[in-house]
Chains A and B, each alone.
Chain A
Amino acid sequence: MNFEYPLVSVVVPAFNVANTIEETLHSIINQTFEDIEIIVVDDGSTDETPQILKTFKDTRMRVVRQVNRGLAGARNTGIQLSMGKYIAFCDSDDVWEPEKIEMHVTHLNCDINLGLSFCGSSLIDEKGRFLKTSQRPKLKNISAADIFKRNPIGNGSVAVFRRSALDVIAYRPANERQRDWWFDETLRQSEDIDAWMRFALASDWKIEGIPGLLTRYRIQAGGLSANLHKQFETWSRMRDKVTQIAPRFAKFNGPAAEAYQLRYLARRAFMMGDGARATQLVRRAMGVSFAPLWEEPFKTITTWVGSETLNLLRLLPKVQARFCQKITNNL
């Protein structure tokens, strides 16, 4: 019998994901790197998720069920139970390419100062079909400012941490009696970027990406991301936390980061076909800071022009408007 700890722990938070969890878990089980443990934290699912989880017989997999604590709470429980030297996260609607873990392990093995390894993502829809766009972030020399502004670690299924490095963001809130928190459980969105920010501002561990789109990130229409106002609110809370940790950093980078966040929301509004909202957001972004305009002129200008055009299209009759929108969407 082998009593050695696995090298990599994979934490999979799962809440009402009967439609997608199978595909996710198969993509983890079929990784080319086999020395892993899989910790699925069923965060109080009320659908068939528990039954589906029972059908998996892989000995490397454990399922823990807890009363609903949210995504952050489920991840924290998983981290608490994990034993690996490296720890990877995969949300239960996303899918990994088979070589993902192998490549991150090589990356982390090669550089002892590397604390967080990440990668780009391709985007898929509910049925698993590839969308035209993808997340291809900056990979080298990632600083706290990069994360604050553009968040290269774009979703919850790309990050692979060295466990000893991840522990620098562990803390025990005053009213928590059971275990530490790594992710902030009081945030219901922006918990990823909040954790990455705290990681970058609390340690000098290196953060670096590897080339390739090793994660498939599922875009859910009408998912969490749809509520733009709320999204900006939680982002602002994250910003307040950053301000307390690093006041000078936040003062210097805050406006640019806010402008990028507003531009991102403008693009979401545009995708949803809300021209008025998109225009409002992109103008507000430019009012806060011109940084996106000179740092990423092409993307900013297309967002701006696209939003303004879509906004003007409201004046046209509906059918023509839809036709024009199709064209702008294809741009």
Chain B
Amino acid sequence: MKHSIVHIVDDNSWGGVNRLLECLESAPFGLVHDKHKILRIPRGTRKPPGIAADIIVSHMAICWKNIPFFSALRSTYPETPLAHVEHSYSERYVALNVTKRDRFDDLLNMSYALFDRVIAVSTPQKEWLARRGYCQPDQLVTIPSCVNLTPFQNIANRTPEGPVTIGAIGRFHEQKGFDILVEAFAKHLPDEVQLHLIGDGPDRELLMQKAQDRKNIKFLGATSEPAEAMAECDLIAMPSRWEPYGLVALEAMTALRPLLCANVDGLKQHIENGAVAVDENTVEGWAQLLKGLLDRRVVNELPRGFGTANAEWTFIHNWNMVVQKLTNLEQSDQKAA
């Protein structure tokens, strides 16, 4: 039986979740067992709209403002299984951003209690949620995020000649730690090695200031075709300060580009899958590492990720399983009633 699943997203998560679900839509016929749909909720909505679905999946951020909506959702659809995908929070996020920890604990405990399933986007995130006891063990599932990876699979390998280009892709925000990378380049690295910053965000000015007009640091702006931007890079760097999952890592490994990333949160999983860990996520740490990678032949010797070959299928399979379990749960509840 084909079930219908409605994914509710707010304006903040619209773009990202859209890409996530494209992956389910673009799958070959028959792989995805159920019908997935997106429902966009305007910010500040209190009353949930009429939803005809077998399962409702929330991709909205957990915050005090959304609590009335979540509780209304639960009480409007008491029989429908609800799941929540945790895109926002991770251990390092809390360490760096949350000052009132007790309040935050209350928020998560209270919100997660409204859902039948909480879906973690990476194993380290799941371990953190379990350790802190925010959810019941049988309430927690892990579904590593995925996007349509086809454009990244078709990227050609780099030739062994020419200067090394290092790519950093993402929002210019404290989270991504590009300031560390830019400073390492401006202070410690020779001119022949290039840094491509692909993206935009609130920290743009700060990054430009740190770049000190160095010619080898290029701001390429945000792009809708990250695969093309990645094709120009020999190596992808992720100096993130926190990262529940880290989609860029998956894309880089699919494109067979060596990936250097900070040893934090969800990135730990990518390191297990073959990315190179940068333990010292500081200017000096990165400078020291990158100084050894000034030659393309050396870069080409770096290990490549191997964890992406089945990423899309695993993602689809995981969703099928969650849907199956949740609908069985619903049926057994009805029988019991």
* Interface pair A143/B99, CB less than 8 Å apart: yes
In B241-273, the 8 Å CB interface with A consists of 241, 263-264
A interface bracket (residues with beta carbon within 8 Å of B): 20 to 34
Taking the complex as formed, is B234 at the interface, i.e. its CB lies under 8 A from any CB of chain A?
A: no
Which residues in A have their C-beta under 8 angstroms from that of B180? Answer: 244
Q: Which of these, B94, B96, B98, contacts A246 with CB under 8 Å?
A: B96
Residue of B nearest to A199 (CB): B95
B interface bracket (residues with beta carbon within 8 Å of A): 20 to 34
Give complex CA distance A110, B132 in Å.
14
Distance in Å: Cβ of A29 to nearest Cβ of chain B:
34
Given that A143-B99, A174-B288 are known contacts, is A202 also in contact with B92, CB under 8 Å in the complex?
Answer: yes
Which residues in B have their C-beta under 8 angstroms from that of A202? Answer: 92, 95, 264
Taking the complex as formed, is A247 at the interface, i.e. its CB lies under 8 A from any CB of chain B?
A: yes
* Interface pair B96/A244, CB less than 8 Å apart: no
Given that A241-B282, A247-B179 are known contacts, is A204 also in contact with B101, CB under 8 Å in the complex?
Answer: yes
Q: Which of these, A201, A203, A247, contacts B174 with CB under 8 Å?
A: A247
Which residues in B have their C-beta under 8 angstroms from that of A113? Answer: 132-133
Residue of B nearest to A171 (CB): B279
Give complex CA distance A203, B93 in Å.
9
Taking the complex as formed, is B91 at the interface, i.e. its CB lies under 8 A from any CB of chain A?
A: yes
Distance in Å: Cβ of A210 to nearest Cβ of chain B:
19
Taking the complex as formed, is A245 at the interface, i.e. its CB lies under 8 A from any CB of chain B?
A: yes
Residue of A nearest to B93 (CB): A204
Q: Which of these, A172, A201, A203, A247, contacts B279 with CB under 8 Å?
A: A172
Taking the complex as formed, is A160 at the interface, i.e. its CB lies under 8 A from any CB of chain B?
A: no
* Interface pair A201/B95, CB less than 8 Å apart: yes
B88-107 vs A: 1/0 string, CB under 8 Å? 00011011101101000000
Which residues in B have their C-beta under 8 angstroms from that of A200? Answer: 95
Residue of B nearest to A170 (CB): B279
Distance in Å: Cβ of A247 to nearest Cβ of chain B:
6
Given that A173-B279, A241-B282 are known contacts, is A204 also in contact with B132, CB under 8 Å in the complex?
Answer: yes
Which residues in B have their C-beta under 8 angstroms from that of A145? Answer: 99
Given that A113-B132, A174-B289, A244-B180 are known contacts, is A249 also in contact with B96, CB under 8 Å in the complex?
Answer: yes
* Interface pair A201/B283, CB less than 8 Å apart: no
Taking the complex as formed, is B280 at the interface, i.e. its CB lies under 8 A from any CB of chain A?
A: yes
Which residues in A have their C-beta under 8 angstroms from that of B91? Answer: 203-204
Residue of B nearest to A184 (CB): B280
Which residues in A have their C-beta under 8 angstroms from that of B101? Answer: 143, 204, 206
Distance in Å: Cβ of B247 to nearest Cβ of chain A:
23
Give complex CA distance A171, B268 in Å.
13
Residue of A nearest to B98 (CB): A204
* Interface pair A171/B241, CB less than 8 Å apart: no
* Interface pair A201/B263, CB less than 8 Å apart: no
Which residues in A have their C-beta under 8 angstroms from that of B289? Answer: 174
Give complex CA distance A157, B96 in Å.
27
Which residues in B have their C-beta under 8 angstroms from that of A171? Answer: 263, 279-280
Distance in Å: Cβ of B303 to nearest Cβ of chain A:
16
Distance in Å: Cβ of B104 to nearest Cβ of chain A:
9
Given that A241-B282, A244-B180, A244-B283 are known contacts, is A201 also in contact with B288, CB under 8 Å in the complex?
Answer: no
**Which of B94, B98, B282 has the most chain A CB atoms inside 10 A of its CB?**
B282
A-B contact pairs, 17 of them (CB 8 A): A145-B99, A171-B279, A173-B280, A174-B288, A202-B92, A202-B264, A203-B92, A204-B94, A204-B95, A206-B101, A244-B180, A244-B282, A245-B241, A246-B96, A246-B241, A247-B174, A247-B179
Given pairs A204-B91, A204-B132, 7 additional interface contacts (CB within 8 A): A143-B99, A145-B99, A174-B280, A174-B285, A202-B95, A202-B264, A203-B95
